[in-house]
């Protein structure tokens, strides 16, 4: 069997209940690309020290499972990338629904050699207006700086290796920081990153809907979002109290 051309990397911590809802959208998108390209891809779920059946659920649905015990999201993504066999990498969170065209669009761009990577912007639809305003603010901010979240980022494996992947000394904003370096690399090479504006991924809004709006504003306002990014204790709420 030929080596996969694209590797989808999904960090997962206690996602046994959410994978059955979201992982099928990843496989559907991958299958559409495989059918049209005649090539093969792989889905890698990185089990980040889960205490539920995340690994078993992912394996049962057809994903390759690797394990990373360190509770650091940059490390988790890097572990998945280290296990990946594809020349293209597509990073997506475990609670994100992909449109069917997502992987085809990303691989099409990367195959053209016109860009080193890119992202598909998210569409958040929280129930409360205060949370929606917060999402709109960050969406506008990222567009202004040509930035992107880690909910759906993609790049060539070569570019990822050149940049040494995600920083593992950061416990928050590691995805924005990585995309900034990827953007700079692309600009230097004349292969700029691309934001796929005609598509949207749909992340879960579980945290926005279950946490009080004031709590989301406290932790995701522009000031707090830049504080003590290297402190595991400062950001422990984000790691240890994830809404399930």
Q: What is the CATH number of the domain that holds 147?
A: 3.90.550.10
- Answer for the pair 108, 89: CB distance below 8 angstroms, yes or no: no
Backbone angles phi, psi at 68, to 5 degrees: -140, 120
Sign (positive or negative) of CA dihedral 179, 182, 187, 192: negative
Within a domain: 132: yes
* Whole-number pLDDT of residue 71: 93
Hey, is 227 helix, strand or coil? coil
* Whole-number pLDDT of residue 20: 96
Within a domain: 183: yes
Q: What is the mean pLDDT of each run of 10 residues along the chain (244 residues)?
A: 91 95 98 96 97 96 97 96 98 96 97 94 92 90 83 97 96 92 96 95 92 87 83 82 61
What is the rounded distance in angstroms from the CA atom of residue 23 to the CA atom of residue 1? 24
Within a domain: 70: yes
* Whole-number pLDDT of residue 133: 92
Within a domain: 151: yes
Within a domain: 33: yes
Query: 201 pairs with which residues across the strands?
Result: 122
* Whole-number pLDDT of residue 241: 64
Within a domain: 1: no
Q: Which domain holds residue 116?
A: 6-240
pTM value is 0.94
Within a domain: 19: yes
**What stretches of 51-202 show up as alpha helix (H) in DSSP?**
54-60, 73-83, 102-111, 129-145, 157-162, 174-189
Name 116's Cβ contacts closer than 8 Å, sequence gap at least 6.
155, 156, 159, 182, 185, 186, 189, 191, 192, 193
Backbone conformation region of residue 72, classed left if phi is above 0, alpha if psi is from -120 to 50, else beta: beta
Domain count, the chain: 1
- Answer for the pair 16, 57: CB distance below 8 angstroms, yes or no: yes
* Whole-number pLDDT of residue 244: 57
What is the rounded distance in angstroms from the CA atom of residue 43 to the CA atom of residue 10? 8
What is the residue whose two structure tokens read 């989808």?
8
Hey, is 208 helix, strand or coil? helix
Q: Which two tokens stand for residue 49?
A: 């020290």
Backbone conformation region of residue 111, classed left if phi is above 0, alpha if psi is from -120 to 50, else beta: alpha
The CB-based long-range contact list for 182-186 (8 Å cut-off, 24+ gap) reads 182/116, 182/117, 182/153, 182/155, 183/146, 183/147, 185/116, 185/159, 186/115, 186/116, 186/117, 186/159
What is the residue whose two structure tokens read 């950001």?
235
Within a domain: 231: yes
What is the rounded distance in angstroms from the CA atom of residue 77 to the CA atom of residue 89? 11
Which of 56-65 are b and which e, b meaning 16 or more Cβ less than 10 Å from the residue's Cβ?
A: ebbeeeebbb
């Amino acid at each position: 069997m030929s080596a996969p051309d694209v590797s989808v990397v999904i960090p997962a911590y206690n996602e046994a209940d959410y994978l059955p809802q979201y992982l099928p959208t990843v496989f559907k998108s991958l299958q559409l690309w495989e059918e049209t390209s005649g090539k093969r891809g792989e889905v890698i779920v990185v089990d980040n020290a889960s205490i539920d059946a995340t690994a078993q659920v992912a394996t049962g649905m057809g994903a390759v499972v690797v394990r990373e015990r360190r509770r650091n999201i940059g490390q988790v993504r890097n572990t998945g990338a280290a296990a990946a066999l594809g020349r293209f990498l597509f990073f997506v969170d475990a609670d994100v629904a992909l449109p069917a065209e997502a992987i085809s669009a990303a691989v099409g761009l990367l195959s053209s050699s016109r860009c080193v990577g890119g992202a598909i912007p998210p569409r958040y639809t929280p129930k409360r207006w205060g949370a929606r305003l917060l999402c709109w603010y960050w969406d506008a901010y990222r567009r202004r700086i040509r930035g992107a979240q880690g909910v759906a980022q993609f790049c060539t494996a070569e570019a990822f290796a050149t940049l040494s992947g995600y920083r593992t000394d950061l416990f928050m904003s590691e995805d924005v920081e990585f995309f900034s370096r990827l953007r700079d690399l692309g600009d230097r090479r004349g292969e700029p990153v691309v934001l796929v504006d005609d598509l949207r991924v749909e992340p879960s809004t579980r945290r926005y809907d279950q946490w009080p709006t004031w709590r989301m504003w406290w932790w995701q306002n522009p000031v707090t979002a830049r504080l003590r990014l290297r402190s595991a204790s400062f950001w422990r709420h984000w790691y240890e109290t994830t809404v399930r």
